[in-house]
């Protein structure tokens, strides 16, 4: 099976005044279509940093990421936007839902973001149907009019996953999707991810919880800036 996403020789450091924090030190990583990979590592080991680079939300200092054989840093601006918006779905560590929008609008946002005004008028009805079906699937049919602050943590996380899936991404990147939840709610979220993967969704999930990680097919450990 060929690699969907492949990172080679990634370096990333942050400068804080005089000190330089080296987070990634020549890191290699890859994921194949259909895999469910968990990345584990201690707090501060660079898991979020890596995931942001894989999703083109940040750039490495050196090294490269290839998606289906093409280097992200060679993408033209339009291609990069398309990659971020259509090819990957990102579930953030702290949800990042918009409190001004209700649940349905939050989920529809990625579809809106990729359309021109005219395009959106044409696609809006289909997008709404798709957003509603995702929310139904995740047990949120009776919450679509709620604002994020009117939801529980587990519900917010499910909305964030629905939003990440809105544009049918090839790859789902999830940063600690169970991190802020009690273990029962976390297990529910994991069940959602397992079901998606059974339907063919490729997933890379970051977690600091070994028990959660064991439920993925492949567990990869990040320490000292590398995969160990
Ligand atoms: N924008 C930034 N500026 C400076 N330092 C940063 C920045 N982002 C991250 N760091 C530092 O880089 C290191 C790795 O951070 P990162 O968020 O990737 O860790 P993590 O493995 O996701 O941790 P956690 O499990 O706590 O979420 C940390 O020491 C952090 O302080
Ligand atoms: Mg993190």
- Judge whether residue 209 has pLDDT over 90: no
For 50-64, 108-122, 136-150, which range has the lowest pLDDT when averaged over its residues?
108-122
Distance 90 CA to ligand 2 centre (A): 13
In this structure, which ligand is nearest to the CA of 23? 1
Ligand 1 pocket, residues with Cβ under 6 angstroms: 14, 16, 21, 23, 41, 43-49, 93, 208
User: What is the pLDDT, as a whole number, of residue 117?
Assistant: 85
Domains and CATH numbers, the chain: 3-99+167-227 (3.40.50.300)
DSSP 20-60: EEEEEEEEEEEEETT-EEEEE--TTSSHHHHHHHHTTSS--
CA angle 10, 38, 223 (to 5 degrees): 50
Q: Name the pairing type of β-strands 36-40 and 62-67.
A: unpaired
Distance 68 CA to ligand 2 centre (A): 26
In this structure, which ligand is nearest to the CA of 43? 1
Residue range 72-90: mean pLDDT, rounded? 93
User: Measuring from atom 7 of ligand 1, which residue has the nearest CA?
Assistant: 14
Any idea how long the chain is?
A: 228
* Contact yes or no for 183/177 (Cβ under 8 A): no
User: What is the pLDDT, as a whole number, of residue 1?
Assistant: 61
Does the CA dihedral 213-214-220-223 come out positive or negative? positive
Cα(215)–Cα(149) distance, rounded to whole angstroms?
30
User: Measuring from atom 29 of ligand 1, which residue has the nearest CA?
Assistant: 44
């Amino acid at each position: 099976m060929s690699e969907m996403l492949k990172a080679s020789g990634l370096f990333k450091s942050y400068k804080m005044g005089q000190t330089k924090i080296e987070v990634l030190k020549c890191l290699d990583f890859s994921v194949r279509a259909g895999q469910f990979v968990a990345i584990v590592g201690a707090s501060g080991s660079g898991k979020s940093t890596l995931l942001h680079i894989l999703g083109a939300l940040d750039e490495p200092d050196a090294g490269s990421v290839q998606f289906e054989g093409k280097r992200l840093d060679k993408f033209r601006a339009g291609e990069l936007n398309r990659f971020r918006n259509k090819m990957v779905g990102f579930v953030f560590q702290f949800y990042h839902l918009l409190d001004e929008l209700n649940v349905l609008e939050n989920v529809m946002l990625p579809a809106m973001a990729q359309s021109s005004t005219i395009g959106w008028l044409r696609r809006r009805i289909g997008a709404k149907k798709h957003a509603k079906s995702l929310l139904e699937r995740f047990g949120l049919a009776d919450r679509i009019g709620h604002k994020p602050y009117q939801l529980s943590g587990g519900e917010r996380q499910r909305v964030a996953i629905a939003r990440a899936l809105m544009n049918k991404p090839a790859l789902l990147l999830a940063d600690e999707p169970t991190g802020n939840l009690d273990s029962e709610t976390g297990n529910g979220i994991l069940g959602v991810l397992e079901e998606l993967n059974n339907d063919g969704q490729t997933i890379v999930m970051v977690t600091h919880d070994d028990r959660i990680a064991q439920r993925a097919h492949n567990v990869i450990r990040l320490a000292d800036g590398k995969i160990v």
